[in-house]
Amino acid sequence: MNKHFDDSRYYLTRAAEHAKLGLGETLAPHATRVRELLGRDAEPEPEPTRLEAVRAELAGLERTAERRARGAVGSARATLSRSGSAESAGDR
């Protein structure tokens, strides 16, 4: 008999979850309209997850490293072109 109660509790829980999702989906446009009429902003954006924050930080570090590498290569090229032109001027 206890198994039947467990089964019925499970199905009632599932029905309640589905009812909640259905109500949320049905009422979402109305809630948005009410927020707009009251002048309230939409729900705030959720904070990024730890993984998203780490990915964003890594992307920033990658851009910084690329910028520094390009600067180092540019200054090395400039130094080499200056020393190359000085040597060629001295050979004349």
List pLDDT tens digits, range 22-69: 999 999 999 989 988 888 876 677 888 999 999 999 999 999 999 999
The residue extents of the domains of the chain are 1-45, 47-92
Task: Read off the pLDDT of residues 80-91 as tens digits, 9 standing for 90 and up.
Answer: 998 877 666 555
Angle made by CA atoms 57, 60, 64, in degrees to the nearest 5 = 140
From the CB of residue 35, how many other CB atoms can be counted at a distance below 10 Å? 13
Which pLDDT does position 59 carry in this prediction?
97
Which pLDDT does position 45 carry in this prediction?
76
